[in-house]
Amino acid sequence: MRPLIAGNWKMNGLTEESAALARGIRHGLGDAAAEVLICPPATQIAAVAAILAGSGIAVGGQHCHTGKFGPHTGEISALMLRDVGATHVILGHSERRADQGESNALIACKVSSALEAGLVPIVCVGETAEERDLGQQQQVVAHQLEGSLPQDFVGVVAYEPVWAIGTGKVPTAADITAMHAFIRAELKRARPTAADARILYGGSMKPGNAAEILALPEVGGGLVGGASLVAEDFLAIIRAA
């Protein structure tokens, strides 16, 4: 399976800068060994999808509601994402778990909604610094996997240690390898439909460390935050794959 390099632009990107970034990535991509995905803010999905049309670069959302339509002011459904050109959606990101109080059960419902709409869900799991210090990282991730993935889950899992997101701190190669092996074992044990799913690493992945991380066992790609906002940095990570 080809590695997947996904860029999560988070709450960044007005019209002109988003267009320029998308064009820069498209024009600099060349022949990539990896699959490439860009997840811009919802306001930019349609425009970015139009710029990337025919390039082989996929476009995704950063969130979706559990329902298809209805009285949910400010929300966006999986069907709406699909309608404007998205093929993937990031769900369960630690920032939404913390800032919006999203529970495992809610995330599982969103995953089901995404699957029903034909989107590929990328479900994020990961421990805080305190949980790792207490040696609870596997317990925490197992709980998130069990609660956030429906039984028929088919998609992508992203391991993002919360303490490494946007901090410049990166787990050791041994720590990343151990957690990815643990996630693979959990998927095989409890979610047979996802036994062979890609497991991405996310958390301060940069051009300087991407090759080492992407070469580790069971690392099936990267979920890239800050480095995806600079075309040359994101392209360097793609080349590293």
The predicted pLDDT at position 66 comes to: 98
Specify the range with the lowest mean pLDDT, choosing from 79-93, 158-172, 219-233.
Answer: 158-172
Residues 6+ apart with CB under 8 A from 80: 64
Give the span between the Cα atoms of 29 and 235, in whole angstroms: 6
pLDDT class for 110, splitting at 50, 70, 90? very high
> Is residue 168 predicted with pLDDT exceeding 90?
no
Residue in 87, 14, 86, 6 with CA at minimum distance from that of residue 44? 14
Confirm whether 35 is a catalytic residue: no
Average pLDDT over residues 67-81: 97
Residue 177: burial class (beta carbons within 10 Å; 0-12, 13-18, 19+): middle
> Is residue 208 predicted with pLDDT exceeding 90?
yes
> Is residue 138 predicted with pLDDT exceeding 90?
yes
Helix spans in the chain (H):
15-29, 45-52, 78-83, 94-99, 104-117, 129-133, 137-148, 173-190, 207-214, 231-240
Cβ 131 vs Cβ 141: under 8 Å: no
Which of these is catalytic: 160, 180, 186, 218? 160
pLDDT class for 170, splitting at 50, 70, 90? confident
Q: Tokens for 2, please give them.
A: 């080809």
**Percent of the chain topping pLDDT 90:** 95
The predicted pLDDT at position 24 comes to: 98
> Is residue 111 predicted with pLDDT exceeding 90?
yes
Confirm whether 160 is a catalytic residue: yes
The structural domains of the chain, with segments of one domain joined by +, span 4-240
Q: Which helix (H) or strand (E) holds 124?
A: strand 120-125
pTM above 0.95, yes or no: yes
- Check if CATH label 3.20.20.70 holds for domain 4-240: yes
Which of these is catalytic: 88, 93, 95, 131? 93
The predicted pLDDT at position 166 comes to: 84
Residue in 56, 1, 5, 3 with CA at minimum distance from that of residue 205? 5
> Is residue 241 predicted with pLDDT exceeding 90?
yes
The predicted pLDDT at position 236 comes to: 98
Give the span between the Cα atoms of 9 and 154, in whole angstroms: 24
pLDDT class for 32, splitting at 50, 70, 90? confident
Summary mean pLDDT of the chain: 97
Q: Coil, strand, or helix at residue 115?
A: helix
